[in-house]
Amino acid sequence: MAAWHLIETWGAAPGFAMGLDEALLRSVGRAPTLRLYSWAPDALSLGYFQRFDDVPAAAAHPNVVRRLTGGGAIHHHAQELTFSVTLDADDPAYRGSVPDSYERAHEAVIHALATLGVASPRMRREEPVGSDLAGTGMCFHESTPQDICWTGPAGALAKGVGTAQRRTAGRILHHGSIKLGPSPLEAEVATAADSAVSIDAQAAGAALRAAFAREFDVELMPTAPDADLLASAQQMAARYSDPGFVHREPRPRR
């Protein structure tokens, strides 16, 4: 059985949260790592190529960072679990196409949610969802067939997990956000609370840890970030909330 590292950083500062993921991504040869974390203070993360002005909620939020991964903006608040997986692109767990890797990871997330008592979590496939909302720039207001959904606050199927990947230099960073309770910035989104499940991020993380071990047939070994990793993370952290990076203007989209 392969061994993965498990790193838990509860209440991570926004820049450090992103810097540690980048440091893990750039650690060629490091064992696959599942990281479980929450944010303090709460923050809004923009997708790698998003324009700041395309996310109306960003202007009013005091803590905005930009992720290395793509997609839309996410509100990381007290009732949310963030996870990341970092590993070599040829690792058996993620080998193959991007959609295939999502299928496997999402099976683990769905299993964890079902274990916690969330009612019928599933990939959207071709079902209509009530959480797709135009003009917010928020990740949870745009869905793809592989996004994980369940019944949301309006009684309709809604997106409850947001995920995105970065692939660079033979390594993969897979970000995920699981909604445990609502945020005013993410109206209509499904949360564990909609299934009458009241749970904090650490307990949800324990379920996710067990589900990843089961799905990928690996042992997850609790691991403290070593000094080199921490130093890299701290060095990289500054960029993520730097105004030049947060407000950068990607070239016009088609």
Residues of this chain that interact with another protein (CB under 8 A) are 48-49, 68-71, 90, 95-99, 102, 144-146, 163-170, 250-251, 253-254
> Which residue's CB is nearer to another protein, number 149 or number 207?
149
Rounded to a whole number of angstroms, the minimum distance from the CB of residue 204 to another protein is 23
Rounded to a whole number of angstroms, the minimum distance from the CB of residue 84 to another protein is 14
Rounded to a whole number of angstroms, the minimum distance from the CB of residue 119 to another protein is 26
> Which residue's CB is nearer to another protein, number 60 or number 134?
134
Rounded to a whole number of angstroms, the minimum distance from the CB of residue 229 to another protein is 22
Q: Which residues are catalytic?
A: 139
> Which residue's CB is nearer to another protein, number 220 or number 236?
236
- What are the Cα distances from residue 243, in Å, to 15, 64, 238, 254? 12, 9, 10, 25
The burial of 253, by beta-carbon neighbours within 10 Å (0-12 exposed, 13-18 middle, 19 or more buried), is given as: exposed
- What are the Cα distances from residue 79, in Å, to 25, 41, 172? 26, 12, 26
> Which residue's CB is nearer to another protein, number 85 or number 180?
85
Considering only the C-alpha atoms of the chain, give the largest distance between any 2 of them, rounded to a whole number of Å: 48
**Length of the chain in residues, anyone?**
254
Distance CA 30, CA 178 (A): 25
Rounded to a whole number of angstroms, the minimum distance from the CB of residue 38 to another protein is 24
Distance CA 109, CA 9 (A): 19
> Which residue's CB is nearer to another protein, number 118 or number 139?
139
Name the phi and psi angles at 86, rounded to 5.
-125, 130
What count of other Cβ atoms lies within 10 Å of the Cβ of residue 87?
24
